[in-house]
Amino acid sequence: MNRWTPLAAAVLMSLPLGATAAQDTTAARPLATLSLEEAIGQARANSPQYRQVLNNAGPAKWAVRNATTNLFLPSASAQMGFGYTGAGSSSFGGTQFNQSSPSYNSNYSVGVSWRLDGNTITGPAQARAQQHATEEDITAAGVQLRADVTIQYLSALQAVAQVDVARQQVRRNEDFLRLAQARYQVGQATLLDVRRAEVDKGAADVALLRAEQSANEQKLELLRRMGVESPVAIQQLALTDSFPVTAPTLQLDQLLTLSDAENPTLRSLRALESAAGAAVTAARADFLPSLSVSAGWSGFAQEFTDENLILGQTLAGAQGQYASCLENNQIRASAGLLVNDCLLSAGLQDPSTLQPDVVTGFRDQNDVFPFSFRRSPFSANVTVSLPIFTGFGRTLRVSQARAQREDADEAIRARRLAVRSEVHGRFLALQTAHSSIAVQAASRDAAREGLRLAQDRYRLGSGTALELSDAQNAVQRAEGDYINSVYGYHIALAALEGAVGRPLR
């Protein structure tokens, strides 16, 4: 017997070979934690896609208010305008109008109107149906958001668990390398064993780097779906929730019944079908008569800019009236009648000058721009309209509305078939995933036992480095497959919850 054998055996037996014997100092210490409910809450507050759907709630609410207001309250409007008109002539309705002086003008009008017809009557019901459809769309978006965030959270946890598997493999290969070096130093192994252990160690280091990169990418994708950025370095963000594996007790018939009542897409389509039915009623209302009521107040002001020109025209008119009065006085005097005061009646101070009060009165009356309005008479109208024949436009609209309602019915039926098929498939996937956990657990335990035997054989010199390397790789694959099966079960359950439309755990 080689005299180094007892010493080598003692040295080799003292080397740590377990996956938990070495302390891991490579993992970054977490500075921030994130639970699943926190992730879902932040996603509801920050997800751009979800917030875009939420934005539809405001217009839908105001549409109901607008339709209700149009039914019970009149609309009111007020306007004011200012203008300028130059001197000249214009023709309107075959009549010639002359304006010798430019002028400024202003006007106002205040009016109220109310219309009652079929669309106004059916408007509130149609708007409420559309609002309900919008609310169901928001609910569907919330359910989808929860499912997406949950699945991505599980995917990130799965990637983190694979990092732990990769770290364990690195520790095993470090132990393997130390063991091969120790055996080589005491003459129990060849340099080939050492090189084999070094290659395996390098491959494990690369696999760990890739696993860490994958975990970081999954965390970043989770944050993207949440609509936020990481408050710390992504390596220092820890996901805190754990998900125990429990045997599924769900029944397919119950799940199908729940999906018929709770699936958000189905509920949204049913709301759209209700809105389509309201649209049919609104289209039929086009055959009803309509009632219109309106009332208004208005005023107008016009101020001439060339007062001297207008006063000159006024003076010329007064002088003509004065001349006519003088002729009339001659006739009256010859008949022995009293004569009139022609200057006073014509508004003249003397034959060439207007009386001061006439000039002052004109200027006061002309000084009206912009707000000294002359009110027009109050006006009101009531109109009843009964459409008799408008082509086939109304019939076309009714036919189109009916077709849309029938399309909505068919969309509900098609979606219900798809949902039931989806729920059934995901239920089977959940059962398969749960069954595979036990199989993968047995494979993992067998691989670990095989690794223990290979380590003992190699330590005692009866096994080869290739045998130990294969056993370590088999354990890594088995542990990775076990983690994939566990999180595959949780992801299948989350997908089933999304298909049903409500939590199931």
Q: Is 452 helix (H, G, I), strand (E, B) or coil?
A: helix
pLDDT bracket for residue 13 (50, 70, 90): very low
* Secondary structure element (H or E) that encloses residue 58, with its range: helix 57-72
> Per residue in 47-90, pLDDT tens?
999 999 999 999 999 998 998 888 888 889 999 999 888 877 76
User: CB of 299 within 8 A of CB of 374?
Assistant: yes
The mean per-residue pLDDT over the stretch 98-110 comes to: 84
At residue 317, the pLDDT reads 86
pLDDT-above-90 percentage for the chain: 45
Q: How far is CA 134 from CA 123, 379, 387, 471, in A?
A: 16, 43, 34, 58
Residues of the chain with CATH 1.20.1600.10: 16-74+131-287+391-500
User: CB of 127 within 8 A of CB of 448?
Assistant: no
Dist. CA 376–CA 313, nearest whole Å: 27
Q: Which tops the pLDDT comparison, 319 or 233?
A: 233
CATH assignment of 16-74+131-287+391-500, among 1.20.1600.10, 3.30.710.10, 3.40.50.2000, 3.30.1780.10 = 1.20.1600.10
pTM for this predicted structure: 0.75
Span between the terminal Cα atoms of the chain, in Å: 64
At residue 26, the pLDDT reads 44
Q: Which tops the pLDDT comparison, 274 or 95?
A: 274
pLDDT bracket for residue 291 (50, 70, 90): confident
> Per residue in 379-416, pLDDT tens?
889 888 888 877 888 888 889 889 988 998 999 999 99
